[in-house]
Amino acid sequence: MKDNDLPLPSIRCLSKEEAASYLGIGVTLLSELDIPTVKFGRRLVYDKVDLDLWLEEYKQRGRAGKEFIWPVKPESTSETIHHVGGLTQHSQTAKEYAKVLGLKTEPKLKRF
């Protein structure tokens, strides 16, 4: 090695195969994940900094982020059952639409 030779810096941008290997996953799974890419012309590369940030964020989400998607409401897990039912008021909307359209609104008579 000469005195003026410096070591090359480590590679920062990775191909799809190198990024998948860096994360320890397959190329197919890498394509399905929402990991940011950098576009150089027609070529897409993965920045190591972005991969590290994405991985830290993914770890913070917990088990695939399910803790935040489906929050458990205390009232849905309590032992008390809220009663529903009773008398309900019927809407007059159907009769009002029928009147506007010119349809008959009289109740049908039962034939014996």
Could you tell me the residue range of the domain that residue 41 belongs to?
9-63
- At residue 45, the pLDDT reads 94
Average pLDDT of the residues of the chain: 77
Does the residue 76 lie in any domain?
no
Per-residue pLDDT at 104 exceeds 80? no
Q: In whole angstroms, how far apart are CA 22 and each of 12, 15, 33, 72, 106?
A: 11, 10, 14, 36, 75
Is 15 within the bounds of a domain? yes
User: Whose structure tokens read 């996953």?
Assistant: 25
Examine residue 43 and state whether it is found in any structural domain, yes or no: yes
Nearest residue to 50 via CA among 33, 63, 64, 38: 38
Residue 82 has pLDDT above 60, yes or no: no
Give the number of domains in the chain: 1
| Residue 90 within a domain | no
pLDDT at 30: 92
Question: CATH no. for residue 29?
Answer: 1.10.10
> Which of residues 60 and 37 earns the better pLDDT score?
37
Q: Is residue 97 part of a domain?
A: no
Q: Is residue 108, in this structure, part of any structural domain at all? A: no
